[in-house]
Amino acid sequence: MTDMTWFTSLSTVAAALAIAVGVLGPAVAMGRAVGQALDAIARQPEAERAIVRTLFIGLAMIESLAIYCLVIVLIVLFRNPLLEYILPR
Amino acid sequence: MEGGLSSSILWTLGPVAISGTVVTTWAVTVLLALFAWLVGRRLKVEGPGRLQAAVEGMVDLAREAVEAVLPGRSAQVLPFVATLWAYLLTANLVGLVPGLHSPTRDLSATSALAILVFLSVHWFGIRAQGLRAYLDHYMKPFPLLLPFHLLGEVTRTVALAVRLFGNMMSLEMAALLILLLAGFLVPVPILMLHIVEGLVQAYIFGMLALLYIAGGIQSQQPQPER
């Protein structure tokens, strides 16, 4: 196999693996956060506004972890800076 | 893939390349300013028109949100945060117009906004408590933590920019991929998700900016009850 074939297949596998593994943690965290927030609202319905506001901010923080993964994957797939070592100039 | 990660360049002005993002940003800014001017031109206390009532509702909502985080200081911070909300709302939703891209799917646009937030944190902080007291809070609880404070400043600004960019771009890219795989009119549900996501991301960006500014202002005082 040529260098280019290795490069494309390996980066595709790496991208798929990275997003698959990288989403696991945020998924667990988001599930826990929403579950706890529902629990809190069920106990104290009058505190719903504050809980929902904090929940949304927390979810955004957690979600940004998955977004970092996505950005890295997209860089690997579309704008890989290491590609110039392989491509003939 | 058209404009995979960065925006397409429309024309160049000497050494400066004018991308689609810049043009859309200008258009959104001008539209918002025009709208604000039109609404603010004739305000009535007695019997406000429908438009005035609607805009007053929005401003009230923003003021309540700011007041909940920063009691008594909303007049100072509200203009900045509410402008962020209004601009991001429009900018996120403008991507739904066929042929246009959201300016917020470009990392340079979101970085500019994040840098604005970064600078305004220090601006409001120094104005609220003076330069010495403000700089002093980097030394709390003891000076060894200074590098971590500085690191936190940088990473949260980068996170602010990348979060908005990643969200908007990934949604647009998902719609594009579904269009490629499934065909005409199939990505419409994804575009509906885009509306929700645009609203949520605008809210979150403004809210985080508000929280960071509040942190800068109140770094000396005990945090209020949330």
Please give the average per-residue pLDDT across A78-83, as a whole number. 82
Give the residue from chain A lying closest to B167, CA to CA.
Answer: A67
B14 φψ region: left (φ > 0), alpha (ψ -120 to 50), beta (else): left
Residue A24 has pLDDT above 90, yes or no: yes
Q: How far apart are CA A27 and CA A20, in angstroms?
A: 11
What's the mean per-residue pLDDT of chain B?
84
User: Which residues of chain B are within 8 Å of residue A64 when distances are taken between CB atoms?
Assistant: 159, 162-163, 166
User: Which residues of chain B are within 8 Å of residue A63 when distances are taken between CB atoms?
Assistant: 163, 167
Q: What are phi and psi of B5, to 5 degrees?
A: -115, -30
pLDDT at B1: 38
Q: Helix, strand or coil for residue B9?
A: strand
What per-residue string of b and e applies to B14-49 under the rule 16 or more CB within 10 Å gives b?
eeeeebbbbebbeebeeebeeeeeeeeeeeeeeeee
The better pLDDT of the pair B93, B222 is held by B93
Residue B225 has pLDDT above 80, yes or no: no
User: Which residues of chain A are within 8 Å of residue B165 when distances are taken between CB atoms?
Assistant: 71
The 3-state DSSP composition of chain A as helix, strand, coil percent (nearest 5) reads 90, 0, 10
Chain A residues near any Cβ of chain B (below 8 Å): 50, 53-54, 56-57, 60, 63-64, 67-68, 70-71, 74-75, 78-79
At which residue do the structure tokens 């590609």 appear? A83
Give the residue from chain B lying closest to A78, CA to CA.
Answer: B4
Residue B12 has pLDDT above 80, yes or no: no
pLDDT at B169: 85
Residue B226 has pLDDT above 50, yes or no: no
pLDDT single digits (tens) B19-59: 888 888 999 999 999 998 988 887 888 877 888 888 899 99
Report whether B186 contacts B178 (CB < 8 A). Answer: yes
pLDDT single digits (tens) B171-182: 888 888 888 888
Q: How far apart are CA A5 and CA A29, in angstroms?
A: 37
Q: How many CB pairs under 8 A join A and B?
A: 45
B162 → closest Cβ in A50, A53, A67: A67
* pTM for this prediction: 0.81
What's the mean per-residue pLDDT of chain A?
88
pLDDT at B2: 43
Complex confidence, ipTM: 0.70
Chain B residues near any Cβ of chain A (below 8 Å): 1, 4-5, 68, 159, 162-163, 165-167, 169-170, 173, 200-201, 203-204, 207-208, 211, 226
In this structure, what DSSP letter does residue B16 have? E
Helix axes B74-93, B20-41, angle to 10 degrees: 130
Mutate to test the interface with B, among A57, A64, A76 (most CBs of B within 10 A): A64
pLDDT at A64: 82
Residue B136 has pLDDT above 80, yes or no: yes
**Banded model confidence at residue B221, pLDDT cuts 50, 70, 90:** low
